[in-house]
Amino acid sequence: MSTPARRKLALVFNPSAGAGRSARLLDFLLERLDRFAEISLHCTTEPADATRWLADADLDGFDGVLAAGGDGTLFETVNGLFAQPSARRPALGVIPIGTGNAFSRDLGLQPGDWRAAVGLIENGRTRRFDVGCVQWASGEFYFLNIAGAGLPVDVMRIMAPYKHLGPSSYSLVTLWKALQMKCYPLRITVDGRVIERECLFVEVSNTRYTGTSFMIAPAAKPDDGRLDVTLVGRLSRPRVLRLFPSVYKGRHVDFEEVEAVQGEEIRIESDGPLDLAADGELQGATPAVIRCLPRSLEVFASP
């Protein structure tokens, strides 16, 4: 029996992911990948490093690009891949070893379970996933998981120095900021339908989860050609306390203050520029147009 051909994979590894805890996993990860693939390793050293490296890389002959880190590493990897012509864009593998790994949940992977992630990559099966494209005044960028404005941006600004405290601290800060009830007047246009209201936040989702464990868009499917829009209007503090725990199971969509719609193109406008957060990174500002790019990226995943 002939030996299966070894695959050629590029590994984007973030040694700072998981508050630096990921660095000790590199040797184990390389040893496991070496069983079935030839690895071209790139360890990131600064923000946007992965995007720049992949944008300039010659990916001809590569069977896949692996993102090992958190949501930010995945965001940079996806944007680097989309800087390449579509014909030269290999499949994406996700190895969730960061503080937040929301997208990995839709692959059936728990955050930190790098062995199961490598198993998916070794299996070699792929699915075509939708990708979100955000266009704003200074350019465009891409996301696999989620992009939003309002509360998520406020939380990220606070949490940036405290990522090492883990997902539970993210939940606590989110609740604390929600109880402050800072709302933003927004005009959201979804496939031509206009929604105007004061919002605690708006999230545009390609997959179900955000912040690792919040099921913000329970109806989202990453390959249906649509994005899921979740708007949360003004709430009283007692209503915030009632709604907050329901987000873990996706039951917040049953509250009258919450509106959930789907669409292929979403425009977000505000009274003045409002920062956006996408896949764990602060990027872009309103006004912005968000489009679904149907099944535009191959991802190592179970059928």
Pair 169, 178: CB distance under 8 Å: no
Model confidence at 219: pLDDT above 50: yes
Q: 77-81, 148-152, 163-167 — which one is most confidently predicted on average?
A: 77-81
Please give the Cα distance from 156 to 101 (Å, whole number): 15
Residue-level pLDDT at 157: 74
Q: Is the pLDDT at 154 greater than 80, yes or no?
A: no
The most confident of 97-101, 178-182, 275-279, by mean pLDDT: 275-279
Query: In the predicted model, is pLDDT for residue 1 greater than 60?
Result: no
10: pLDDT strictly greater than 60: yes
The average pLDDT across 179-185 equals: 80
User: Nearest Cα to 174, choosing from 146, 214, 209, 229?
Assistant: 214
Is 90 exceeded by the pLDDT of residue 237?
no
**Amino acid 175: pLDDT:** 66
**Which residues fall within 8 angstroms of residue 278, CB to CB, at 6 or more apart?**
75, 132, 134, 141, 143, 145, 146, 147, 148, 284
Question: In 3-state terms, what secondary structure has residue 180?
Answer: coil
With a cut of 60, say whether residue 51 has pLDDT above it. yes
Query: What residues pair up with 149 in beta bridges, in sequence order?
Result: 202, 276
pLDDT value at 202 more than 60: yes
Summarize pLDDT for 165-175 with one digit per residue, the tens. Answer: 555 655 666 66
Determine the pLDDT at residue 183.
87
Q: What is the pTM of this model?
A: 0.91
For the chain, give the percent of residues with pLDDT over 70.
90
Tens digits of residue pLDDT in 17-44: 877 778 889 999 999 999 999 999 999 9
Domains of the chain: 7-124 (3.40.50.10330), 139-295 (2.60.200.40)
User: pLDDT at position 236, please?
Assistant: 85
**Distance in angstroms (rounded) separating the CA atoms of residues 262 and 243:** 21
